[in-house]
Structure 1
Amino acid sequence: MSTPAGRPTALVTGATAGLGASYAAHLAAAGHDLVIVARDQARLQETAERLHERHGVQVEVLAADLAQRSDLAAVAARLSEADRPVDLLINNAGYGLKQSVAVGDIDLLEQHFDVLARAVLVLSNAAAKSMVARGHGHLLNVSSIAGLLAGGGHYAALKGYVLAFTESLAKDLRGTGVSATVVLPGYVHTEFHARAGMKGGSGRSRAWLNADDVVADSLRDTFSGRLVSVPSLQYRGLAALLEVLPRGVVRTAWRLTSRTSPSRIAAGTAPVAPTN
């Protein structure tokens, strides 16, 4: 695939639905060529054709299950190609999982870890090496406001890792010309919550954000070099509160508002299909 001189390339994981689809659309509209990554080859091809027709950009598809190490290695190899550089990596792929850390299915928990945490580590490392060698580039890792919740479950723990990891990555990248940003969205109108069986995704509550607004805010913060992006005023306020409250207070509040026991969470559940 030939890329017109001067046109940047972005690689987006989880790019066919949810926030990932919005990231791909925004970047294509802004003139970025794309490498889009997801598990479903047919859906990837459909997305690529639509973006190319609408925006005239080149869109490469890369079918990969990030829980599989060989697939993850293939994505990392693409990020490492010196003759086809990637200027922006968006680690977005993820899904919800109703499993207790204490008594849940360890295979499902490990797969969840591999997609939400290990993939972020491996792909960030591959991209950073290439970008540092060129002296420029951006990395955007999608965490969640849940990452600030002490005792918030496996998803919250993994998103907390993404936040702390990106903060460490940004420190290591200082002075290289490469930036790292982590975005902490709250509830967003996407397929994510519907597939996870969560209520409220179609409501008009101020707690629910528009995916395009989250993407626009986080991309603006990424290109300006901001480390932590928290879209919307209400979630910036919540994030500030969670950062100053003692973790014991947050744990207690979370325990009092959570009514589901670990045994019930673990019984008869399965991973929710990745959407962002």
Structure 2
Amino acid sequence: MTRTALITGASAGLGTEFARQLAALGMRVVLVARDAERLDRLAAELGAAPGAGADPGERAEVLVADLTTEAGLERVAARLSDPDRPIDLLINNAGFGVFESFERSSIADERRMHELLSWAPLRLAHAAIPGMLERGEGWILTVASVAAFTPTGTYGAAKAAVVSLSRSLNARYRRRGVRVTALCPGLLATEFHERMGEDHLPQLPRIAWADTARVAREGLRAVHAGRAVHVSDWRYRLAVPLTRILPDRVLERMTTTNAQESGRA
């Protein structure tokens, strides 16, 4: 039986990497994002990969949706809860950041960010879990961030929410076959910072950036193993314990002036 994964934010960065790795494992993927052209290109690429069927739709399905709108979010929720087309793995990956500091940011942008980063994963998990419980198995991977463990503004606050949610759902449902994981990467060389403009790109040495393919592999292994939280990349795994012992004022100075410096796409 071919399993199916639904990936939000699939049109770029980590979402695209998840799609490629899962397709290579023989899974069918449902690609969710706002950019129809990019999704169609990715679906064609996956459909043309070795081992794909004659019909590209056998490997990839495109679902165009803006998760910051109620209509878009409910469209994806309906796909997740469709009993005739079950989703075995949900990957909540879509995200963006607000660059401006809290006192200058647009409250509309702040709300959109929080709804995408914390409300959308909750809504989609709520849609997916009943069917997974009925089938006796399922996996949910939500991309959080190491920013969840540091005082990095509203972005970090939103990411902390999904870390807490993942821990709670994994504790509640793992014995019933549903595994829920929060993946916490650090800096990734994706379009996340570029979307905010070149002036907003962190000027950091190459060693600070984690490899996207490796982070995706670690995330898939973590959710398969049923780990509630996984900090990706050894450099960040070494750093996270410091967040438990250093004062907030020190951590705030060590981090950049906004949560996006510790974000990902």
TM-score by length of 1: 0.86
Match for 1:97: what amino acid?
V
Q: Is 1:209 aligned to residue 204 of structure 2?
A: no
Question: Which residue identity lines up with residue 21 of structure 1 in the other structure?
Answer: T
* Contact 1:99–1:109 under 8 Å retained in 2: no
The amino acid that maps onto 2:153 is G
SS of the residue corresponding to residue 187 of structure 1 reads: coil
Spell out the pairing of 1:226-245 with structure 2 (5 A cutoff).
226-242=227-243, 244-245=244-245
* 1:162 maps to amino acid: V
Please state whether the residue corresponding to 1:36 is helix, strand or coil: strand
In 2, Cα distance between equivalents of 1:259 and 1:131: 40
Task: Note the C-alpha offset of 1:128.
Answer: 1.0
- AA aligned opposite 1:22: E
Is this contact kept in 2: 1:91–1:141, CA < 8 A?
A: yes
**CA-CA distance at 1:19 after TM superposition:** 0.3
2:48 alignment partner, SS class: helix
Contact 2:98 2:105 in 1 (8 A): no
| Aligned match of 1:106 | 107
Letter in 1 for 2:97: G
Partners of 1:218 and 1:15 in 2: CA distance: 15
CA deviation after TM superposition for structure 1 residue 195, in Å: 2.5
Cα distance per residue 1:197-224 (max 9 Å; x no partner)? 22347x52x2211100000111111111
| 2:96 match: secondary structure | coil
1:240 shift after superposition: 2.0
Task: List 4+ stretches of structure 1 deviating above 6 A.
Answer: none
Query: Where do 1:39-50 residues align within 5 Å?
Result: 39-50=34-45
Query: Does 2:179 align with 1:184?
Result: no
Q: Which has the higher contact order (CA 8 A, sep 6+)?
A: 1
Residues 30-179 of structure 1 correspond to what in structure 2 (within 5 A)? 30-55=25-50, 56=52, 57-150=58-151, 152-179=152-179
Alpha-carbon offset, residue 253 of structure 1: 3.3
The separation in 1 between residues aligned to 2:13 and 2:257, in whole angstroms, is 28
Alignment partner of 2:249 out of 251, 269, 272? 251
In structure 1, what is the Cα distance between the partners aligned to 2:257 and 2:124? 36
1:144, distance to aligned residue in structure 2 (A): 0.3
Aligned residues with identical type, % of pairs:
39
Deviation at 1:257, TM superposition (A): 5.8
Tell me by how many angstroms 1:42 deviates.
1.3
Question: Which ranges in structure 2 are unaligned for 5 or more consecutive residues?
Answer: 53-57
Matches of 2:255 and 2:87 in 1, distance apart? 43
Number of residue pairs matched by the alignment? 253
Moved more, 115-124 or 228-237: 228-237
How big is the alpha-carbon RMSD for the aligned residues of Structure 1 and Structure 2? 2.0
1:17 to 12, 35, 44: 12
SS of residue paired to 2:175: coil
Query: Do the aligned residues in 2 keep the contact of 1:149 with 1:251 (CA within 8 Å)?
Result: no
**Residues 1:137 and 1:102: Cα distance change in structure 2 (over 3 Å):** same
Q: 1:42 to 1:175 in 2, by over 3 A?
A: same
| TM-score for the superposition, normalised by structure 2 | 0.89
